[in-house]
Chains A and B, each alone.
Chain A
């Protein structure tokens, strides 16, 4: 009798999850896969066209290749830079000096800002005539830039902007640093290790699982970059900031090519899985898990 009640309540209480997985995950995934085989503009009847969407993507759509290039260049440059800067910031914020609480808050603040706000703000900062950055460059006697209006500068501009809001990564690194047992560092000091040796022999190995986590999350996020190019440049100038996500959005919601947009989404998923797997593969050689036998 009691077991039955337990099962009953178990199923009742877990039913939102079971339903949710069906309605918001399984069904959309199924629709995405099947719709990628159709041509459909949401109004007329969907027409089955087999793999033509994929064939068009690979052979006919030069914007796909452009978007792929932009997305990969942006992700593979910005994420390592974010990791490096966030790690350095976390090391700094972990040093024992006064006033650290204030610095920690200040370093976090940019990550708190809604993406729409930071995008609007940075658009203004990058403004060639009235923006902050050209003012600073000018004061320093350096040549001013066209920033978002220059097809060669637009990706570097987006990368610099992405370095501003790394607060989440910094906080996670910082928590990791604080979790490293003091004995390990002390042992290294007793053995005569200097700061850099300590960093290499103790801190980095102990932090490697966290670096790994942040790296994977950063890559997944980077591959889906949308709002910044959508608001700031709409992919321009001359498609030099057209990310895959933006290309997909335009295909779906500006041109109503639902089938093709779904094919793009699935390719984005495959890319995400492929890059994550590559990182996972490589992790065996550089991620150290405590308590794991080598």
Chain B
């Protein structure tokens, strides 16, 4: 008897939480297919009388969201390349090759995880202004080619579990170190690589501060900035804004469902093993 009561209790709490999580999304979707008068009617309506699907194409008429998609996708692609190339080779060197300064470099890299990016934000901005990188994609792409402390940490933890017999056998067969990295170690690290790609996608897609600081030209805007300019210049167009918000979120939801496993793995690796 008490088990049944327990179960009912668990379900009611779970549902209560689920309502809290989903209600804002429901409101977003409901508003994205309303007319403007419906949104501004009082008392507010729960659902539109006639779903206005044309709000979605309207997003692309008001602002060049197609371009914002393309810009964001370009940034994602470059960041993914940078993250893969740099972190894999750094972590390979840190774990499979012996050279002076190796441990110090790893310790320094992990140490930077403690420094909030806020502190380096302004000097980095000034560096880019000296280099003439303001209002280009460079500040949002180039840093990812220099390694990311969190990804290095993940890869190092993983590479350390791979036996050295592989490297030695390959060396005897005459393989070079880069070749060992690309053909032997990298294929084994596929799960971690998946985690890195998904996280890079999310971080780039969701980044607001970076584009806000570096991109002024509206031709270079990312989706996050596009949404911001929609919010500031069309601040009563809630129906279009909510449609745009939905369009920004949609690719994320797809990626999340496709890569759910790697995703959860990546989130927990830092927390549990760290």
Contacts and interface: CB of A to CB of B under 8 A. Distances in A.
Residues of B contacting A: mostly? helix
B99 A210 contact: no
Interface stretch (A12-20, A50-58, A72-80, A149-157): A12-20
B146 A13 contact: no
Residues of A contacting B: mostly? helix
B232 to A, nearest CB: 9
A131 B40 CA distance: 10
B118 interface: yes
Instruction: Place the interface of chain A in its size category.
Output: 35 or more
Nearest to A169: B271
Contacts of A29: 115, 119-120, 123
Interface string A123-136: 11100011110010
Q: Which 10 A-B residue pairs are closest in the complex by CB-CB distance? A: A20-B146, A10-B99, A28-B123, A172-B271, A13-B93, A31-B123, A175-B268, A10-B97, A28-B120, A114-B206
Instruction: Place the interface of chain B in its size category.
Output: 35 or more
B209 A164 contact: no
Interface string A213-244: 11000001001101100010000000000000
| Candidate in B10, B24, B178, B227 with the most chain A CB atoms within 10 angstroms | B24
B10 A114 contact: no
| Candidate in A23, A109, A131 with the most chain B CB atoms within 10 angstroms | A109
Interface in B189-245: 202, 205-206, 208-209, 213, 223-224, 227-228, 231, 238, 241-242, 245
Contacts of B248: 114, 116-117
Contacts of A121: 24, 27-28, 242, 245
B8 to A, nearest CB: 10
Given A115-B206, A125-B24, A258-B126, A179 B98 contact: no
B10 A9 contact: no
Given A117-B245, A168-B267, A226 B209 contact: yes
Interface in B21-54: 21-25, 27-28, 31, 39-40, 42-44
